[in-house]
Amino acid sequence: MQLSELARASGVSPASIKFYRREGLLPAGDRVTATRQEYGAAHLERLALIQVLREVAEAPIARIARLTAVLDDPERPLIDALAEAQLISLGLSEQGAGDAPDHEEHPSILPLLARLGWPDAESAPRRALDDLLRTLDGWEIPTDIEVLHRYAAPMAEIARADVSSLQGYGGEGEEPEVSDDVQVMRAVAGAMAFDRLVRLLRALGHASFSILETEQAPPGPD
């Protein structure tokens, strides 16, 4: 398809498509003539990924370019792109993601990892959790291992299912049924949608239990 057809099919303006090409987010099409290129399904998938990153994750162009560079590097595995997408969906900086913290880590994190059977490995989410727990400590909100495990245990099952679904495309030893771009797009959109789902279900539970407690409360004196 030509540029105008790609724009109609993707819902992205020709000017934006040209901008993404200049910034390295979108590969060039197959050159047909000196002034015309042909685009295919891979370009549609990349544009869909870019739109999710921009409109849903509100990622800046520089972060999207970093992710697409990983996707376009044949030496980089898909898991690297998924890790980059995770940073974007969580709103975390990529700086120092694999470095050891410059302060003593919150004492609840290592016991939590051990109880869950998770590896003692540095990561951006682990460092962000450390920052959050320190903030909660400042607010005098409990951050002991039992409190954390109450939240972490169901999240562990959800995370296990998420990873299995991402790894399960096409079955073991088979080519994925969808491209890397589509898998990363689903990971970003799914992470943000399900994070909201968890928050909404928790809020619904708070409202529901409050109503039930009110209904079950003994009547006051006349």
Q: What is the pTM of this model?
A: 0.74
Backbone angles phi, psi at 37, to 5 degrees: -125, 155
Q: Which two tokens stand for residue 222?
A: 């006349």
Taking the C-alpha atoms of residue 157 and residue 218, their distance in angstroms, rounded to an integer, is: 38
- How crowded is the C-beta side of 168, counted as CA atoms within 13 Å? 6
* pLDDT confidence band for 166 (50 / 70 / 90): low
**Residues whose CB falls within 8 Å of the CB of residue 144, separated by 6 or more in sequence, listed in order:** 108
Q: Which two tokens stand for residue 149?
A: 């495990």
The answer to whether residues 27 and 43 touch, using CB atoms and an 8 Å cutoff, is yes
Taking the C-alpha atoms of residue 146 and residue 106, their distance in angstroms, rounded to an integer, is: 14
- Residue 93: pLDDT over 80: no
* pLDDT confidence band for 94 (50 / 70 / 90): low
- Residue 33: pLDDT over 80: no
| CA distance readout (Å), 22 to 13, 25, 65 | 14, 8, 11
Q: What is the dihedral of CA 113, 114, 117, 121, to 10 degrees?
A: 50
